Structure 1
Amino acid sequence: MASLPFELRGKTVYVAGHRGMVGSALVRRLAAEHVELLTTPRNEVDLRDQAAVNAWFATRRPQAVFLAAAKVGGIVANNTLRAEFLYDNLAIASNVIHAAHVHGAEKLMFLGSSCIYPKLAPQPLREDSMLTGPLEPTNEPYAIAKIAGFKMVEAYRSQYGADFINVMPTNLYGRGDNYHPEYSHVVAALIRRFHEAKVAGAKEVAVWGTGTPRREFLYVDDLADACIHLMKNYSDSELVNIGTGEDITIAEFARVVAATVGYTGEIGFDASRPDGTPRKLLDVSRLAKLGWRASTKLEDGIRLAYQAYLSEIREPAEC
């Protein structure tokens, strides 16, 4: 059993995926922990390249690893780029987890995604719901890759005694999101759509799907804080959900975003677009027992996310 708390101060800490929304939030949060931060720009180390990853770990030997790197996107990206989502995420997870073990990392955190729970699992989603039913077809390749990462962490912990842990974030939003018009997640997509409609004076904005699915949304800087808390205070084979414990319909959420952006036109729904899973709310009781709860209210977080969008407007990079 690993000793707790696991102290980060003074350690070399690697954030894999530091330029993504989650990774950059972890970097911001780690600034208060007085660590020696390690990062790997994609043009220097391709995490899909086993030899390159192994060589980097052999040289730098991080003591703690946050594995936040992933090929990510919204429902259209997941359903369109199925081969890339499966291959890239399998390769990243297997390469980084194995290299961390081989080169003596003291602790590793692997970040999954709540979309890998079964499509019709009982709500709210408990950690033991994983692999209890069929996956949502539109994101099955991504889900399978992430499940493999979870199982790798469990296996290395069981066979080698590695202090590796799994966490399961809910839907995320905030600074550093991807605003691609087709491949973004719902929060970024709606912020961009309502902003552009406001600027253009459009009379109506079409939201994808029927508006009836329910979703939980967590501000990304809250996620980073939860990850630091768990890295310090948790060591077990069971994964931990990270969320708010509250959800909202997509229709209601769209109205929140529209109000924040200042769009006053009509909101319609394009039922020809897929809805995805009917509901996705995490049971966060395990996280609460470990002493952490989200602190950013949805309206406040959306306001911060919109401010970030206004400062970050640019051609979206590949996520």
Structure 2
Amino acid sequence: MLDVAARAGVSGQTVSRVVNGSPRVDPATRARVEEAMERLGYRPHRAARALRTGRTHTVGLVATTLATVGNSRMLQAVVDAATGRGYAVVVVTLDAASGIADAFARLRDQGVDGAIVLNEATAVVRDAVAPAGLALVVVDSPVDDRFAAVQTDHAAGARAATEHLLGLGHATVWHLAGPETSYAAAERERGWRAALVDAGIEVPPPVRGDWTAASGFAAAAELPVDATAVFAANDQMALGALRALTEAGRRVPEDVSVVGFDDVTDAADYRPPLTTVRQDFDALGAEALAALVAAIEGGDQPVVLLPATLVVRASTAPPTG
């Protein structure tokens, strides 16, 4: 570290700040130190640093599953953000045989400095007691004084999707809702309801799925034959709905307009290209990691709300006839 400091023309403390990802280094100085580290082949020794600082620069991530697109994209976003700050990530999934206490215990055994809890897993965390000294950030959960929260504005995104369909002239909008236990699903349903109520339109009963394309296919089969507009709570269920409508002889968007949520990588390649609400998963991961680092360092526990943006493609159009 002293060799790096000498080559970069800075103090050893400045090198330490750069190594530890401190924001208290101006960009030009950080770049000079990083160049010196690269030229000298300097690599921090994680175990030695943990003994000296009491921090492992390792964070945990808790999820109910990594099979869903939203969770897998959030995992990638968190890992990318953590790597950029010099942190490693340990992943723990919950299942029927292990509860949140077991997940926290496994993370503590790994010596993590803190943990990020994703989406559906946050419902379990709200009823649990986190181990003392374990900093927590939850993604998509109601505000709670015990931990920082990072959220997408699901309700506003769902409202925008619904208002888009109403603005095209559809008499009402049907909703393929997500699981009842999901905070994100509940918020999307809330935004859909609010848009209809504000427009003076009676709210039709939602048809519920479980985020999968198969559940969207089954749910779409329950829609009335005169439905002309559908808002699905995620793109996978929208994909299933597209298939169900096509097999029923109904054209999208000529007979039925369909909107999804998330803007997954393939959404623009659906047939037709899917109108959807975009979540910025990279920003979610970066904000979650930044909030966790701040909590680890004893800072504030913020609530961060990120916008969701409507992306209009070819799956929506004015009703015919």
Higher RCO structure, 1 or 2 (CA under 8 Å, sep 6+): 1
TM-score normalised by structure 2 residue count: 0.41
TM-score (normalised: structure 1):
0.42
State the structure with more CA Rg.
Answer: 2
